[in-house]
C-alpha cells in the first residue's frame, strides 16, 4: 500500500507541473532573443536537433509569404565547407529581406518562384545571429500559398526600392562575396577577354565623392556602360584581388543610368593618383627614344592585356 501510495503521490506532483508557454513576439518575423542562431553552429545540427530548438516557438514567428528576387548561383563559403545561395524575399509592396539558402535541394523551388514571379510561403526558417538575414535550410518548408494569403503584387527591384552604400563603406566593412548596391561614376573603362573563357570582361574604376574602387563588368552588361557616365549598380559582388577589394557586376547584377545624382558631378580629379594609371608625369629632358608602345593594362596588376 505504501509503495502504491508513493507512486500515486509522485504522479500527482508531475501532473501538477505547469507547462511553460512562449508568448507571441510583437514582430511576426522576430524570434525571442534566446532563439537567435549562430549560423555556423546551427548548420552542423541534424534537422531533428534544429527542429527541437524551435519547439514552443510560435510558428507564425517563422513564416513569411512573398516573392523571390535575385536568386544567385551556388557560392562556396569562406571556410570551404559548404555551398550557399543568396536571394531577396519581397514580403510587402515595398519591403525586401536578404536571405541565405543552405539547402541545395530547395534551390529549384526558389528558382521557379523567381523566374515565374509567383509567391511562395516560407515556414520554419531561422535567422542569422544579428537578425538581419533569413536562413533557409533543410528544416525550412517551402510551399505555394493560397490566393487569399498573398495580398500584394510582385514589384521588380529598382534603385528606388533598394538601399545603397558608399564605396568607402564597401572598402571598410564589406567581406568578399558580399552583395552591395553602389552609385558611382565610371572611369578608365577598357574591354578584354580573360584567359580560358569565351566571356568578355571590361575593367575600370568606380568613383563617388569619397572613394575609388576597381570595377569588373561582365557580359551582358558591357554594352550598357560608357566611360565618364554615372550609374546605379545593384547586386555587385565584392571580390579580393592581390589583397585589395574590387567589385564585379555579374550576369545577375543590374545597372541603371543616373540622371539626377550627386555622383554625376564627380570628375577624374576625384581619382587618387595611385589609382590613376593614365596620369601625366613631368620629364625635364629625354636623351633618346628607342621605341614606343601603347597598350591597355589591367587596373589591378598593370599587366598588358591581350587585344
Task: Return the C-alpha cell found at 57.
Answer: 516557438
Give CA separation, 37 vs 32, 42, 58, 130, 301, in Å. Answer: 11, 6, 16, 9, 41
Residue with cell 579580393: 240
pTM, two decimal places: 0.56
Domain 160-270 coded CATH 2.30.180.10: no
Q: CA 55, CA 32: separation in Å to the nearest integer?
A: 13
Can you give the residue ranges of every domain in the chain?
A: 63-143, 160-270
List pLDDT tens digits, range 227-279: 999 999 998 999 998 899 999 998 888 999 998 888 899 988 877 765 555 44
Q: Are strands 75-76 and 83-92 parallel, antiparallel or unpaired?
A: antiparallel
Q: CA 200, CA 195: separation in Å to the nearest integer?
A: 10
Q: CA 86, CA 97: separation in Å to the nearest integer?
A: 11
| Whole-number pLDDT of residue 285 | 67
Q: Which residues pair with 76 in a beta bridge?
A: 83
| Whole-number pLDDT of residue 194 | 63
| Whole-number pLDDT of residue 301 | 67
Q: CA 183, CA 232: separation in Å to the nearest integer?
A: 4
Same fold, 63-143 and 160-270: yes
- Number of helical (H) and strand (E) elements in the chain, helices listed first: 5, 14
Q: CA 50, CA 138: separation in Å to the nearest integer?
A: 9
Phi-psi region of 228 (alpha: psi -120 to 50; beta: other; left: phi over 0): left
Q: What share of the chain is helix, strand, coil (3-state, %, to 5)?
A: 20, 30, 50
Measured between alpha carbons, how far apart are the two ends of the chain, in Å?
99
| Whole-number pLDDT of residue 183 | 94
Q: CA 120, CA 114: separation in Å to the nearest integer?
A: 9
DSSP secondary structure string for all residues of 11-50: HHHHHTPPPP--PPPSSTT---GGG---HHHHTTS-HHHH
Q: CA 82, CA 116: separation in Å to the nearest integer?
A: 28
Residues of the chain with pLDDT under 50: 1-60, 278-280
Q: Is 258 within 8 Å of 244 (Cβ atoms)?
A: no
Give CATH for domain 63-143. Answer: 2.40.50.140
| Whole-number pLDDT of residue 225 | 94
Helical H segments across the chain, by residue range = 2-15, 39-42, 47-53, 107-116, 167-173
| Closest of 140, 75, 79 to residue 110, by C-alpha | 140
Q: Is 78 within 8 Å of 176 (Cβ atoms)?
A: yes
- The total of other beta-carbon atoms located within 10 Å of residue 217's CB is 28
138: buried, middle or exposed (CB in 10 Å: 19+, 13-18, 0-12)? middle
| Closest of 121, 188, 164 to residue 255, by C-alpha | 164
| Closest of 134, 156, 179, 176 to residue 256, by C-alpha | 156
| Closest of 195, 36, 265, 237 to residue 128, by C-alpha | 36
Amino acid at each position: 500500500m505504501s509503495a502504491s501510495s508513493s507512486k500515486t503521490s509522485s504522479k500527482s506532483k508531475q501532473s501538477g507541473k505547469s507547462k511553460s508557454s512562449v508568448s507571441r513576439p510583437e514582430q511576426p518575423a522576430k524570434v525571442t532573443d534566446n532563439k537567435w542562431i549562430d549560423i555556423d553552429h546551427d548548420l552542423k545540427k541534424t534537422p531533428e536537433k534544429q527542429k527541437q530548438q524551435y519547439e514552443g516557438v510560435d510558428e507564425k514567428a517563422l513564416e513569411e509569404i512573398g516573392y523571390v528576387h535575385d536568386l544567385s548561383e551556388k557560392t562556396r563559403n569562406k571556410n570551404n565547407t559548404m555551398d550557399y545561395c543568396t536571394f531577396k524575399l519581397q514580403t510587402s509592396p515595398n519591403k525586401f529581406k536578404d536571405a541565405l539558402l543552405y539547402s541545395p535541394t530547395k534551390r529549384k523551388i526558389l528558382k521557379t518562384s523567381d523566374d515565374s514571379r509567383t509567391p511562395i510561403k516560407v515556414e520554419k526558417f531561422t535567422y542569422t545571429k544579428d537578425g538581419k538575414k533569413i536562413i533557409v535550410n533543410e528544416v525550412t518548408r517551402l510551399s505555394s500559398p493560397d490566393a487569399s494569403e498573398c495580398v500584394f503584387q510582385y514589384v521588380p527591384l529598382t534603385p528606388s526600392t533598394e538601399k545603397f552604400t558608399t564605396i568607402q563603406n564597401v572598402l571598410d566593412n564589406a567581406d568578399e562575396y558580399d552583395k552591395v548596391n553602389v552609385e558611382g561614376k565610371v572611369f578608365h573603362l577598357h574591354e578584354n577577354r580573360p584567359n580560358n573563357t569565351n566571356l568578355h570582361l571590361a575593367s575600370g574604376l568606380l568613383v563617388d565623392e569619397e572613394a575609388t574602387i576597381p570595377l569588373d563588368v561582365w557580359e551582358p552588361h558591357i554594352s550598357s556602360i560608357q566611360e565618364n557616365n554615372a550609374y546605379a549598380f545593384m547586386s555587385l559582388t565584392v571580390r579580393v584581388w592581390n589583397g585589395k577589394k574590387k567589385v564585379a557586376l555579374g550576369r545577375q547584377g543590374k545597372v541603371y543610368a543616373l540622371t539626377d545624382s550627386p555622383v554625376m558631378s564627380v570628375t577624374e580629379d576625384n581619382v587618387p593618383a595611385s589609382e590613376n594609371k593614365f596620369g601625366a608625369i613631368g620629364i625635364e629632358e629625354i636623351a633618346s627614344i628607342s621605341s614606343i608602345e601603347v597598350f591597355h593594362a589591367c587596373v589591378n596588376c598593370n599587366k598588358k592585356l591581350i587585344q
